[in-house]
Structure 1
Amino acid sequence: MSSEMIRAEQQGALEVRQQVNQIQYLMKEVLKPGEHYGTVPGCGKKPTLLQPGAEKISFMFHLVPTYEVKRYDMAGGHREYEVKCTLTSRDTGEVMGEGVGTCSTMESKYRYRSKWVNGSKVREENPDIADTWNTVLKIAKKRANVDAVKSTTAASDIFTQDIEDMPQVYQAQQPKAQPQTAAAPPQPKPIDAYKAALTRAKRERGVPVEDAMAKVREVIDKEPAAYDEADIAAAVTIVDGLGQPEPEYEVVEEQLPLSDDDIPF
């Protein structure tokens, strides 16, 4: 093998390596898991390229897609679309690669609808199959575009097949929403007991808040923000005692002990 051929092969390998490095850099800095690519549980560690990710890779490599669509009409209003995606260089207009994709209304997610009959879920033929024609066409285009991007940019060793249109698999990889739990009611702060005592004294007994706090200050020489639980308990007792009516006392005559002369026997 001539030295020119060896250098050409080395240059080709270097270009492939650089291209793969660009894709990996894009995955690290721009692409987001679950949005641009994802992984399928039980299908290995290789991520799956999704349509938004394919669009970002195309933009990075200056690739412009064009589509060739073939339609096949089938019985019962069913259709199948076969799409070829061609990627051309935005800079030179040169064709860089191609990919193909198909989609049919005969696929189960389009062909059938589920309904409940006597408490059981049953499947029936979709009576509005024509409503899915446009969706099926778009899915075929997506599949063709992803296939073209992977083969053109040497990304097949990084990504596996497109599963964006496979909800039963794609949704399984999404993180499940955590059930919302009711927030615990806020617990009253200890100082709130002191505030409540001041409110009671003002409303029920007409004691001004300033006067009540002054009485407390005579006993507890601290700012309320520095009160501990014992201080708060003492402050509440002081405030609750303000403005209360003086207790009424029953006057009882003191009885002296009886002498021997007072005893009749």
Structure 2
Amino acid sequence: MTALTEHGGAAALAEPPNANRMSLAELQQHLNLVQNIKDQLMKQDVHYGHIAGSQKPTLFKPGAEMLALAFRIADGYDIEDLSSHGHVRYRVICTGTHLATHEVLGVGMGEASSEEEFFAWRDASAREFDAAPEEDRRERQAWGDGGADVFVLQVRTNPADVANSILKVASKRAKTAMVLNVTASSDCFTQDLEDMPLARRSGQRRDAPEDKAPQKPAASAGRTQPGFCDQATFDRKKAGWRKAVESGKPPQDLITMIQTKEQLSDEQKREIQAWAPTGATTNEAA
């Protein structure tokens, strides 16, 4: 707050000697502490991570909790239920207060919904997939082990089954935003993982190139031979594999991809080859 004083016959704005603000030295000390916590105490992929496409590290929940502990910030939550029929949605405001003085330091807001891709779909077995209505199922192309592209069978999630998870995510987003605001650490970190584009946190490896098609893994010398795929496992996975062939993937390419992880019997290979559309070449060696 400022006071109006008279000096030399002219009005001037003067600040009281104990203005409630940080000096440059205190501000520098604060920023140094945030950086030291990151460099000396936090662990990559535990407290923060590097996500493709982001210039700054992404702050994870454990990292936000460490900063809150260091600066003695207590968190309180106001939850607004915005759910409607067949749809779960929460908006959360997290208020940070000082543990000793109970002074309000700042707030952060977070929201989560069952309509988000992360919550709307879940992986399904072939039996669940076949039993689901057409509008409640899909095949999602994703990155498999070694960079191979695979098709994942998915069905829509019942919103009630994930309501608690949705509330937790909204609360976590709110707390992360509050900690970043209160500690002024946005120059070191960006928002939590859930606020990154879906392709960077689901269906791709973190190091997968975003602008390139999935590549087959290169054979490595001395690689341990994968074990054989038992018939029960084959029967469970074959619906998704067959969809890939019917969508145009050559059977031999599919066999090669599968055998990077598990060996197929001759009978299983022949069954996959038989999925090829009539008249299509199988590329099988004579």
TM-score, scaled relative to structure 2: 0.54
1:13 Cα offset (Å): 3.1
Decide which of 81, 100, 103 is 1:94's aligned counterpart.
103
- Equivalent positions of 1:16-31 (< 5 A) are 16-31=27-42
- Equivalent positions of 1:171-210 (< 5 A) are 172-173=205-206, 181-182=223-224
Q: Quickly say closer, same or farther: Cα 1:130–1:8, change in 2 above 3 A.
A: same
Distance (Å, rounded) in 1 between the aligned partners of 2:207 and 2:45: 7
- Coordinate RMSD, CA, aligned: 3.2
* Corresponding residue of 1:81: 90
One-letter amino acid of the structure 2 residue matched with residue 72 of structure 1:
L
Task: Provide, for residues 26-49 of structure 1, a one-character-per-residue CA deviation record: whole Å limited to 9, x for no partner.
Answer: 1111100111011111222x1111
Task: Provide, for residues 208-244 of structure 1, a one-character-per-residue CA deviation record: whole Å limited to 9, x for no partner.
Answer: xxxxxxxxxxxxxxxxxxxxxxxxxxxxxxxxxxxxx
Count of aligned pairs: 177
One-letter amino acid of the structure 1 residue matched with residue 113 of structure 2:
S
1:12 Cα offset (Å): 3.2
* Corresponding residue of 2:176: 146
Distance (Å, rounded) in 1 between the aligned partners of 2:154 and 2:122: 6
Distance (Å, rounded) in 2 between the aligned partners of 1:86 and 1:9: 20
Distance (Å, rounded) in 2 between the aligned partners of 1:123 and 1:170: 17
Q: Quickly say closer, same or farther: Cα 1:174–1:85, change in 2 above 3 A.
A: farther
Task: Provide, for residues 70-89 of structure 1, a one-character-per-residue CA deviation record: whole Å limited to 9, x for no partner.
Answer: 1112222x111000001111
* Corresponding residue of 2:200: 169
Partner of 1:73, secondary structure, is coil
TM-score, scaled relative to structure 1: 0.58
Decide which of 68, 78, 101 is 1:58's aligned counterpart.
68
1:143 Cα offset (Å): 0.2
1:4 Cα offset (Å): 5.6
Distance (Å, rounded) in 2 between the aligned partners of 1:124 and 1:12: 56
Distance (Å, rounded) in 1 between the aligned partners of 2:61 and 2:70: 14
Structure 1: give runs of 5+ residues left out of the alignment: 184-265
One-letter amino acid of the structure 1 residue matched with residue 121 of structure 2:
Y
* Corresponding residue of 1:14: 25
- Equivalent positions of 1:151-162 (< 5 A) are 151-162=181-192
Distance (Å, rounded) in 2 between the aligned partners of 1:102 and 1:182: 46
Distance (Å, rounded) in 2 between the aligned partners of 1:181 and 1:64: 51
Distance (Å, rounded) in 1 between the aligned partners of 2:96 and 2:49: 24
Structure 2: give runs of 5+ residues left out of the alignment: 1-11, 131-138, 140-150, 209-219, 226-286
Q: Quickly say closer, same or farther: Cα 1:174–1:58, change in 2 above 3 A.
A: farther
| Structure with bigger gyration radius | 1
One-letter amino acid of the structure 2 residue matched with residue 173 of structure 1:
R
Distance (Å, rounded) in 1 between the aligned partners of 2:156 and 2:33: 46
Q: Quickly say closer, same or farther: Cα 1:21–1:170, change in 2 above 3 A.
A: farther
Q: Quickly say closer, same or farther: Cα 1:173–1:8, change in 2 above 3 A.
A: farther
1:131 equivalent in alignment to 2:158: no
Distance (Å, rounded) in 2 between the aligned partners of 1:164 and 1:31: 20
